[in-house]
Amino acid sequence: MHRIKPHWLMAAILLMSPSAMATVDGERAELKLIQRHIQKLYYLIDRAEQEADVRQSHQFYYDALRADLADIESGIDVYLNPSRAGAKPVRPLSGDYISGQNDE
pLDDT in tens, the chain (104 residues): 555 555 565 666 666 655 555 677 899 999 999 999 999 999 999 999 999 998 988 899 999 999 999 999 999 999 999 886 666 677 888 888 887 755 55
Domain span at residue 79 reads 16-103
Split into its structural domains, the chain has a count of 1
CB neighbours of residue 3 within 10 Å? 5
- Contact of 88 with 78, CB cutoff 8 Å: yes
Question: Does some domain include residue 3?
Answer: no
Is residue 73 one of the residues assigned to a domain?
yes
Q: Cβ distance 97 to 65 under 8 Å? A: yes
pLDDT of residue 21: 55
How large is the C-alpha radius of gyration of the chain? 22
Q: What is the CB neighbour count within 10 angstroms for residue 65? A: 20
C-alpha–C-alpha distance, residues 72 and 93, integer Å:
9
- Residue 7 domain-assigned? no
